[in-house]
């Protein structure tokens, strides 16, 4: 099959996965509720049922949904999911510690990504930066696009253990990004502009294969995000 076709399907599957996961985490699809049938999702998103199955398969493997006889695809209760290696973020002090963890871990993820990225990954980065630039210009908030970038980077690093951890920590990343939306308007705009520039620096180092710069740029990005978030309060 043509590589462009495979990349296109992978991108569509990831987009659907992200949309459904956001719906689950936000409560739009509460525990024990049924997701729409495959054929309806395929029609609504304009994609094939095989692409839908790929996205649902990923959600099943991560314990967010399950197939039940006579009910279709059902959202799992929290207790049915695999336990997360990360405690829940319940305070700003917890969020500070989460940023400390991310600085240490995601710097190494960026380091590995610079060594292992492929041409298909390069296309993902181009699409991500284009989307982030548009979101920044429109002022509509970077939350999902930003979080997905950090999670996807672990798959670019080709390390399934790091990827699993990043999937588990995604709600914590979203928590911090949502907190940033409460900043004063001027601070929020500056934060978005700086975050975009920092993403561009991380991506540039990864595409150049400069692992040390990728590590340093990612550590700087998360450190600066933390500083902007807590320094403005």
**DSSP 8-state secondary structure symbol assigned to residue 72:** E
- Average of per-residue pLDDT across 96-107: 94
Walk me through the domains of the chain, giving residue ranges and CATH numbers: 3-80 (1.10.10.10), 92-231 (1.20.120.530)
Q: Are 109 and 218 in contact (CB under 8 A)?
A: yes
pLDDT of 187 over the 90 cut: no
**DSSP 8-state secondary structure symbol assigned to residue 91:** S
Distance between start and end Cα atoms, the chain = 53
Q: Tens digits of per-residue pLDDT, 110-155?
A: 999 999 999 889 998 999 999 889 888 887 666 778 888 999 999 8
Q: Are 144 and 22 in contact (CB under 8 A)?
A: yes
Helix axes 119-138, 143-156, angle to 10 degrees: 170
Q: Could you tell me which residue, 231 or 37, shows the higher pLDDT?
A: 37
- Average of per-residue pLDDT across 99-120: 95
Q: Tens digits of per-residue pLDDT, 34-91?
A: 999 999 999 998 999 999 999 999 888 877 899 988 889 999 875 444 445 566 666 7
The pLDDT value recorded for residue 220 is: 97
% of the chain with per-residue pLDDT over 70: 87
Which one, of 17, 11, 48, lies nearest residue 35 by Cα? 17
The mean-pLDDT minimum among 21-25, 48-52, 184-188 falls in: 21-25
- Average of per-residue pLDDT across 20-41: 85
Query: What tokens does 156 get?
Result: 């670019």
Nearest 10 degrees: CA dihedral of 37, 41, 42, 47?
-150
- Please, which pLDDT band fits residue 169 given cuts at 50, 70 and 90? confident
pLDDT of 172 over the 70 cut: yes
């Amino acid at each position: 099959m043509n590589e462009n076709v495979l990349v296109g399907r992978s991108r569509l599957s990831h987009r659907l996965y992200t949309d459904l996961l956001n719906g689950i985490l936000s409560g739009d699809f509460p525990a024990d509720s049924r997701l729409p049938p495959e054929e309806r999702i395929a029609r609504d998103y304009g994609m094939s049922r095989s692409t839908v199955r790929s996205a649902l398969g990923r959600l099943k493997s991560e314990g967010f949904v399950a197939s039940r006889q006579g009910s279709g695809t059902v959202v799992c209760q929290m207790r049915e999911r695999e336990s997360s290696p990360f405690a829940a973020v319940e305070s700003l002090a917890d969020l500070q510690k989460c940023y400390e963890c991310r600085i240490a871990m995601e710097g190494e993820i960026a380091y590995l990504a610079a060594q292992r990225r492929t041409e298909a990954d390069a296309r993902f980065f181009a699409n991500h930066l284009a989307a982030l630039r548009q979101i920044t210009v429109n002022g509509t908030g970077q939350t999902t696009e930003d979080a997905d970038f950090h999670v996807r980077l672990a798959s670019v690093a080709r390390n399934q253990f790091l990827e699993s951890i990043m999937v588990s920590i995604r709600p914590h990343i979203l928590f911090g990004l949502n907190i940033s939306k409460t900043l004063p308007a001027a601070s929020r705009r500056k934060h978005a502009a700086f975050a975009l520039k920092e993403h561009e620096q991380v991506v540039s180092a990864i595409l150049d294969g400069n692992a040390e710069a990728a590590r340093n740029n990612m550590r700087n990005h998360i450190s600066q995000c933390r500083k902007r978030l807590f320094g403005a309060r």
